[in-house]
Structure 1
Amino acid sequence: MSLHDDAVLVLKGYDTGADAAQEELRQTYLHHLARYPDGMWKTCGAGHLTASALVVDPERGRVLLTLHRKLRMWLQMGGHCEPGDATLAAAALREATEESGIAGLALLGGGPVVLDRHPIPAPCHWHLDVQYAAVAPPGAAERISDESLDLRWFAYDEVAGVADASVVRLLERTRDVLDGGR
């Protein structure tokens, strides 16, 4: 199965609950993939899917954010899919591992936590991000990557003070998953 095929299956199975905005995004992503066979890749001029993961500490009271080198914003770990990624989940886990320096991350739940579509500069115009959550193993030590200016653990209640609304929304959805809800 191709990464494109996996993405379609993941999105078809993504439970948006009663969230109309998430359902609209799900449909937008599926339409994008149906229209653009290269819609998984950075080379797609209409935009492309990306995969990310919010890293949660094993005690589940903090999240690890990266100060993105180019954007100069505190964000979850994530980025572009690569040809070696077998699944969207694998892409999110690879990105989170590379950018956090933490081996042994474990994705939460059976799929994405939330979808987030955001504009980026031309020639690609959109990132259609499929966002997951991952728990760090006990005793994990983070390591800054070349893509980051800094890495820092933030208590849940600190995130809104340093990150944008998309990261806050991802944290809220992640906490719902951790609490056993959707």
Structure 2
Amino acid sequence: MMHADAVRALTSWTAAEADQEQLRGDYLAHLAEHQDGLWRSCRPAHLTASAAVVDPAAGRVLLTLHPKVGLWLQMGGHCEPGDETLAAAALREATEESGITGLRLLSGADGHPSPVKLDRHRVRCAGKDQPENTHLDVQYVAVAPAGARELISEESLDLRWFAYDELPELTDVSVRRLVDRARELTA
């Protein structure tokens, strides 16, 4: 069920840029080749789900200081067997890592929560004694309810709101592009 949903989500999503369209094609090819392509056990690559948690009224994004990577990132991670959809995985991760209930994912024209960006990156998620693999991250935007209060989880070294124009130095280009896209879509 989740595999079919991931194919539907990626097929119905319209990429805004040529590089994003290329990634979309690569992700769909990966899913066509791997029925287990959403699970951590799929090597050398698997899909992951993440979300930029934003407060559009205040012009800010909530980022987590990732303990393994040492960078400020959006909320996200691996799909789990209890997740029914890719969007549900992104929302679960965003809720768990932010401590905020009532998050709402942005929807596409079809009324379903829709990805806003894709990012492919190498990681060592199976342990430092294991080879690197590739995360095929499907990124969403989660809008926080008014007055939302974050609560740090054990998966984070720190958790903070940052103004869209004042992201910390320890962010990568992927996070900056995701925040720009979130800002554009929620303006």
TM > 0.5? yes
Matched, 1:118 2:118: no
Tell me which amino acid in the other structure corresponds to 1:94. R
Residues in 2 aligned to 1:4 and 1:124: alpha-carbon distance in whole angstroms: 23
TM superposition outliers: structure 1 runs of 4+ over 4 Å: none
Q: 2:186 aligns with which of 164, 168, 178?
A: 178
**TM value normalised by structure 2:** 0.91
Within 1, Cα distance between the matches of 2:160 and 2:151? 10
Partner of 2:146: 138
CA contact (8 A) 1:53 1:131 kept: yes
The count of aligned residue pairs is 177
What is the rounded CA distance, in whole Å, between the counterparts of 1:169 and 1:56 in structure 2? 14
Give the corresponding residue for 1:165: 173
Extract unaligned runs of 5+ from structure 2: 109-113, 125-129
CA RMSD across the alignment: 1.3
Residues 141 and 160 (structure 1 numbering): CA distance in 2 closer, same or farther, change over 3 Å?
Answer: closer
TM-score by length of 1: 0.93
1:19-52 deviations in whole A, cap 9, x for unaligned? 1100000000000001111110000012100000
Gaps of 5+ in 1: none
Counterpart for residue 81 of structure 1: 79
Q: Per-residue deviation at 1:160? A: 6.0
- Which residue identity is paired with 2:179? L
Deviations 1:49-86 (A, max 9, x none): 00000000151400000001111110000000001111
Q: Which amino acid aligns with 1:14?
A: W
